Amino acid sequence: MNQSHISFEFFPPQTSEGMEKLGLARKQLATLNPEFFSVTFGAGGSTRDRTLETVKAIKAEGFDAAPHLSCVGSTRENISAILRTYRDAGIRRIVALRGDLPSGMATAGEFQYANELVEFIRKETGDHFHLEVAAYPEVHPQARSAKDDLHNFKKKIDAGANSAITQYFYNADSYFHFVDECEKLGVTAPIVPGIMPIVRYSQLARFSDACGAEIPRWMRKTLEGFGDDSESVQAFGLDAVASLCEKLLAGGAPGLHFYTLNQAKPSIAILERLK
């Protein structure tokens, strides 16, 4: 496996203790020589300062950092200011997303869709940033149809995105089908599968229900059967996700992007299996 095509995602911690833990996790993951670390951006930019702080810490350690930038609930002026800040900080990669409206906020702001954000970034900064966008092999939960979702994804690539990271999934066929459909539309940008290690089933079920990622019935039933036996959940999760990653790489996936939830061990265990 080409180590340079591994990347890891973090969320910005809320406390100094969380920052310390993340620093430790980052040190462990850094030994795998990832292509970049990405850092999420809360609904409506609610974690903007903490995202920047985390990104700067990653840069200071000599790694490529990719802040997420979501546009819903934002203005052109606001996005322009954030782009200047990232350029000044030496950032060369951004994950450009539509994002979620914070609860209580009624309007989407000046951007409605991620392709508008990609277009705006290109207009403002030219080719300065490598732009990643999101892809949904199992169809975006708010899409009217799978066909609509594909065309929306193509719009983001046509607007100037360089590559994509998918929502996590546990069915390799959904990824390969999505890539095939994209190729039929003339999309040649790399589409990197997003990988979610299985650590706690209740947490995974909650995330999956919220974002539309399917846990196949056989996996759900097996995980439910373990109850509170976290050791068995993790052992099964390691087998299942490592096997998924093997299939994806054997089938030509250009790399793997791990949703770490700020933990190093689950991702490291999967990658050790892949060696």
Residues annotated as part of the active site: 9
Given a contact cutoff of 8 angstroms between Cβ atoms, the answer to whether 133 and 96 are in contact is: yes
C-alpha 260 chain-centroid distance: 10
Q: How far apart are CA 198 and CA 111, in angstroms?
A: 34
- Burial-class residue 4 by CB neighbours within 10 Å (0-12, 13-18, 19+): exposed
Backbone angles phi, psi at 64, to 5 degrees: -75, 130
Q: How far apart are CA 250 and CA 188, in angstroms?
A: 19
Q: How many CB atoms lie within 10 A of CB 13?
A: 18
Q: How far apart are the first and last CA of the chain?
A: 7
